[in-house]
């Protein structure tokens, strides 16, 4: 039955899809997400492909011919709606009665003074300044709007690949970025990590198990638990319609390294007793001694992960939900399937070359008994230092930092932002009554508001319907927008609507009833903390300039700020819930509030130290690291439970903790080290990832496992000794 279920579960693999869009990090049907979808339906997709082509002279005939070829290629890409460039952007040209919409270069490229005049005009154009030609004249800019009105990662992947194919003949002179490209790169990195590190983790885990147990059975049983529990959890994940993002991509490696823990404890205990007690009695004794501890470790670990289900962020909810499910699957396989397999196989004895009860555990027990006060004092110092470092943690969500320094997407984006302005969209929507934006005075205010927006540090551009009219009237009669009548404003709108290109351009910035205006901003700032300051400034200024209108801030850059705020609140909520749940379980399990509370100390230390490490190492708290606290608590609690279970068992026949300590460590020391080594190696493979979220996940997990191991071998025994001595 287990084999059939696993085969059926594996058959769901074709359902695997990747999705890095912000929808998975925002509350479904929230006002902010609903407002964005309404905005996208009304004004179109705000995400652009941003392309730069290096050149010696932007108006040289060869350069313009090359540009026309690239534009023609991009226009053939399915999903590209319109391409803006020197040879294709609808720009107001001519003067007086000859005014028309035409590309800046509509025919042979100008030369001499005509070329200088055109470039100067572009520099002052309110719509295209710095977008089509860089200030240093050595980079041509191309902007491509896309058809999908909402996030569609598969469509973005196809568009990005097609755009790269068009740009390929240009080699390193071409630079490509924009949110669709960044999302596609994230998906590519996640897919590559899963394809690379899952096999590596399996191989290294198997090799580690063989080194530790020197037994094929000792490899096969834990590996079966790993593979089956991971496949089952992922099958349910896929069947429920979930997609893989930078958070859920960590579910498989997490389940894989945790799933071996219970199997290692079970097999280690069984192997130590089978040659003395016989197969049936050894299995019964193993289940009696190890079963309750495995149940407790699995439930508490699952509770730690499941606490993330309280997060309003769907991606974190999914991570907690399916990680917890994988842990429970692993427990069921270990408790029900593995003993049945052992019952069918010959008795396995420890290798003759191995000493089952190593002397190092006795030396460790003596060390702890002689240095109890030192261990507790050192722990207190470490705890204090870690607490002091926690305020250094930065709450930042910036998808560019998910790629390492020097990666092509990161260097291209930085290059384009430096020469052409920001690639992230930040959108403002002003809503009034019908025909609100046919009022010349209000449009003049809108134009001045746009000028002010362009002075904000980090805002590289701001475009609205007022800018379209400003460009038109500057060519038509040279008069400012506020000096025109409502009739002239209406005729200005008709000028754009007379052509297909002009109508589409106007529709990007103004609703048909002239009641809703869209201001498209180029966000060049990458730090969400600074974006928050920007948005507060914008809200205050808009309230002053447009008291009669409603302002809605939306767009991709805005969602980064919202996600950062959600991460902080959900982190506090999930960690508090996990701590309460695990503490209550520990008290109930050990039937002692004193032992239950003390047992949490070795588990709080890894959590605190991990946060402290984030502060010292300047690792940001973002969507990729938001689950670290729940993982730290879930990982740390396992071996603490096994230690205290064995200690309670030994205390039934020994008068003190001091005497019970050596046999307890002898029983749990080796499997504790075994499981920690397996966890460390499993998570450690992620340190070789070029995808920063995977790297940070591996780094923080390895740090947690290491600190938890030290805590379980030194701090937990020292606490129990101190408690026993105080009672005595």
Fold match flag (184-349+359-392+561-727 vs 414-554): no
Q: What is the pLDDT of residue 154?
A: 80
CA distance 683 to 132: 46
Beta bridge partners of 459: 523
Q: Which residues of the chain have pLDDT under 70?
A: 1, 148-152, 347-358, 728
Q: What is the pLDDT of residue 570?
A: 79
Q: CA torsion angle for 431, 435, 441, 447 (degrees, to 10)?
A: 50
Q: What is the pLDDT of residue 110?
A: 93
Query: What is the 3-class SS of 370-392, one letter each residue?
Result: HCHHHHHHHHHHHHHHHHHHHHH
CA distance 545 to 177: 34
Per residue in 428-462, pLDDT (tens digit) is 999 999 999 999 999 999 999 999 999 998 898 89
CATH number (1.10.150.120, 1.20.1640.10, 3.40.50.970, 3.40.50.300) of 184-349+359-392+561-727 reads: 1.20.1640.10
CA distance 448 to 521: 15
- Which DSSP symbol is given to 91? E
CB 718 within 8 A of CB 657: no
Q: Are strands 550-554 and 139-146 parallel, antiparallel or unpaired?
A: unpaired
Q: What is the pLDDT of residue 355?
A: 43
Q: What is residue 514's three-state secondary structure?
A: coil
Per-residue exposure over 243-276, b if at least 16 CB sit within 10 Å of its own CB, e if not: bbbbbbbbbbbbbbbbbbbbbbbbbbbbbbbbee
485: exposed, middle or buried (C-beta count within 10 Å: 0-12, 13-18, 19+)? Answer: exposed
Where do the domains of the chain lie?
Answer: 50-177, 184-349+359-392+561-727, 414-554
CATH class of 414-554: alpha beta
Q: Would you state the structure tokens that stand for residue 621, as one six-digit string?
A: 């708290």
Cα dist from 643 to 290, 293, 489, 638, whole Å:
11, 9, 79, 9
DSSP-based helix, strand, coil % in the chain, nearest 5: 70, 10, 20
Q: CA torsion angle for 477, 480, 482, 484 (degrees, to 10)?
A: 0
CB 146 within 8 A of CB 49: yes
Per residue in 285-305, pLDDT (tens digit) is 888 888 887 888 889 889 888
CB 26 within 8 A of CB 20: no
């Amino acid at each position: 039955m287990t084999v059939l279920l696993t085969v059926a579960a594996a058959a769901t693999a074709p359902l695997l899809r990747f999705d890095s869009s912000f929808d998975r990090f925002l509350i479904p049907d929230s006002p902010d997400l609903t407002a964005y979808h309404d905005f996208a339906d009304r004004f179109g997709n705000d995400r652009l492909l941003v392309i730069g082509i290096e050149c010696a002279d932007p108006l040289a005939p060869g350069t313009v011919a090359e540009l026309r070829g690239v534009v023609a290629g991009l226009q053939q890409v399915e999903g590209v709606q319109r391409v803006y460039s020197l040879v294709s952007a609808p720009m107001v040209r001519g003067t007086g009665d000859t005014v028309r919409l035409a590309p800046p270069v509509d025919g042979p490229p100008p030369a001499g003074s005509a070329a200088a005049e055109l470039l100067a005009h572009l520099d002052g154009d309110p719509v295209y300044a710095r977008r089509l030609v860089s200030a240093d004249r050595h980079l041509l800019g191309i902007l491509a709007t896309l058809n999908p009105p909402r996030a569609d990662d598969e469509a973005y992947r196809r568009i990005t690949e097609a755009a790269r194919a068009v740009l390929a003949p240009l080699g390193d002179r071409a630079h490509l970025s924009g949110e669709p490209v960044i999302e596609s790169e994230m998906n590519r990195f996640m897919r590559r990590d899963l394809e690379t590190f899952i096999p590596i983790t399996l191989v290294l885990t198997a090799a580690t198990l063989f080194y530790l147990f020197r037994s094929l059975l000792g490899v096969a049983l834990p590996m079966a638990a790993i593979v089956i529990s991971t496949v089952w959890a992922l099958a349910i994940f896929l069947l429920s319609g979930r997609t893989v993002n930078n958070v859920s991509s960590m579910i498989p490696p997490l389940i894989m390294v945790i799933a071996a823990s219970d199997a290692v404890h079970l097999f280690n205990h069984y192997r130590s007793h089978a040659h003395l007690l016989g197969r049936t009695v050894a299995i019964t004794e193993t289940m009696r001694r190890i079963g309750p501890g495995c149940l407790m470790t699995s439930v508490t670990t699952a509770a730690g992960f499941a606490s993330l289900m309280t997060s309003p962020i769907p991606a974190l909810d999914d991570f907690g939900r399916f990680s917890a499910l994988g842990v429970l699957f692993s427990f069921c396989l270990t408790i029900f399937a593995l003993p049945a397999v052992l019952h069918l196989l010959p008795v396995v004895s420890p290798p003759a070359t191995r000493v089952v009860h190593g002397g190092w555990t006795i030396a460790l027990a003596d060390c702890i008994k002689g240095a109890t006060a030192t261990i507790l004092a050192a722990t207190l110092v470490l705890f204090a230092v870690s607490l002091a470092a926690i305020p250094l943690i930065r709450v930042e969500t910036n998808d560019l930092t998910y790629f390492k320094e020097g990666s092509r997407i990161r260097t291209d984006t930085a290059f384009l932002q430096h020469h052409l302005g920001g690639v992230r969209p930040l959108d403002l929507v002003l809503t009034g009554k019908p025909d609100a934006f046919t009022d010349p005075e209000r449009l003049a205010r809108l134009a001045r508001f746009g000028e002010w927006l362009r002075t904000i540090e980090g805002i590289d551009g701001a475009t609205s319907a007022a800018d379209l009219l400003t460009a038109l009237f500057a060519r038509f009669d040279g008069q400012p927008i506020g000096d025109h009548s409502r009739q002239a404003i209406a005729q200005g709108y008709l000028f754009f609507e007379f052509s297909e290109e002009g109508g589409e351009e106007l529709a990007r910035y103004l609703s048909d009833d002239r009641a809703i205006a869209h201001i498209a901003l180029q966000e060049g700032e990458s730090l969400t903390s600074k974006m928050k300051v920007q948005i507060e400034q914008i809200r205050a200024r808009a309230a002053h300039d447009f008291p009669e209108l409603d302002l809605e801030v939306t767009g991709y850059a805005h969602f980064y700020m919202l996600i950062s705020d959600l991460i902080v609140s959900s982190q506090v909520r999930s960690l508090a819930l996990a701590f309460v749940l695990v503490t209550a379980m520990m008290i109930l399990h050990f039937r002692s509030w004193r032992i239950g509370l003390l047992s949490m100390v070795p588990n709080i230390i890894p959590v605190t130290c991990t946060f402290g490490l984030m502060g010292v190492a300047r690792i940001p708290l973002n969507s990729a690291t938001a689950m670290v606290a729940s993982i730290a608590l879930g990982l740390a609690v396992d071996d603490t439970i096994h230690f205290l279970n064995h200690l309670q068992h030994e205390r039934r026949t020994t008068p003190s903790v001091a005497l019970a300590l050596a046999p307890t460590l002898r029983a749990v020391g080796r499997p504790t080290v075994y499981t920690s080594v397996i966890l460390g190696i499993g998570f450690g493979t992620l340190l070789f990832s070029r995808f920063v979220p995977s790297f940070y996940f591996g780094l923080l997990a390895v740090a947690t496992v290491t600190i938890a191991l030290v805590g379980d071998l030194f701090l937990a025994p020292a606490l129990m000794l101190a408690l026993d001595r105080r009672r005595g």
